[in-house]
């Protein structure tokens, strides 16, 4: 056996850090103190807002929420964090009681009152119809509510970009992008009664790290400008 083969066989296997907010690849002989940036406390979800209970950083967008860097440092580990004291969300504000039977059912459901998707009562609350504004030549342009078309963004085919599709987050180049390059979740994330999951593939779990490991259910193009 050659020296190169012996060195390759003796090299430690790469491991994935299980701390929430890290998810980095490391080896046992390259794991100095301070190399891991993670969130020591779990997330809180309330009224569409996602917040890390440890550092109080928050965001409405789930992709931006996951991109918030960890507020604590330490060594990488393969042991999954166990949250013993999950912070409770603040009680939702009372909504006016509706007169219909369905209105009574949705009023009793805390999920519907907070505006989240509820599998027990159909779909999300209907958005109010926007008020049409009649733009005339007399009115200033800045008062007109009709949005102007956005100019197309020029993209360098060799520029590294980060995919913002839910469940992906990979770095890619536009020249390598194609119709099955990205694996992602097209549907929104659903959080209800201490369960977390994806509406698109109808998979729900209890622990946040288990939710992060749910495999994507759809393939498509990478998108760095996803909403």
Angstrom distance (rounded) from CA 208 to CA 197: 9
Quote the pLDDT of residue 224. Answer: 84
Which domains, from first to last, does the chain contain?
Answer: 15-74 (4.10.1130.20), 160-220 (4.10.1130.20)
Contact 227, 166 (CB under 8 A): no
Q: pLDDT confidence of 183, banded at 50, 70, 90?
A: very high
pLDDT in tens, 54-100: 998 888 888 888 888 889 999 989 887 765 444 455 555 555 544 45
pLDDT in tens, 35-60: 999 988 878 887 778 888 899 888 88
């Amino acid at each position: 056996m050659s020296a190169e083969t012996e060195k390759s066989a003796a090299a430690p296997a790469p491991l994935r850090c299980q701390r929430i907010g890290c998810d980095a690849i490391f080896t046992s002989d390259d794991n100095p103190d301070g190399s891991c940036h993670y969130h020591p406390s779990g997330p809180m979800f309330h009224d569409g807002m996602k917040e890390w209970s440890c550092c109080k950083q928050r965001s409405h967008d789930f992709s931006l929420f996951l991109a918030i860097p960890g507020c604590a440092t330490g060594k990488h580990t393969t042991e999954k964090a166990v949250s013993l004291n999950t912070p409770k969300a603040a009680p939702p504000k009372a909504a006016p009681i509706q007169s219909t039977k369905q209105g009574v059912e949705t009023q009793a459901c805390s999920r519907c009152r907070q505006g989240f998707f509820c599998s027990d009562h159909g779909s999300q609350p209907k958005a109010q119809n926007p008020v049409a504004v009649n733009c005339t030549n007399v009115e200033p342009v800045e008062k007109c509510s009709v949005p102007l078309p956005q100019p197309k963004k020029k993209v360098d085919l060799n520029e590294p970009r980060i995919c913002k599709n839910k469940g992906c987050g990979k770095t890619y180049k536009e020249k390598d992008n194609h119709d099955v390059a990205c694996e992602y979740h097209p549907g929104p994330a659903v959080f209800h009664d201490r369960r977390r999951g994806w509406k698109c593939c109808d998979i729900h779990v209890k622990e946040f790290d288990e939710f992060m490991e749910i495999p994507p259910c759809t393939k498509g193009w990478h998108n760095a400008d996803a909403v």
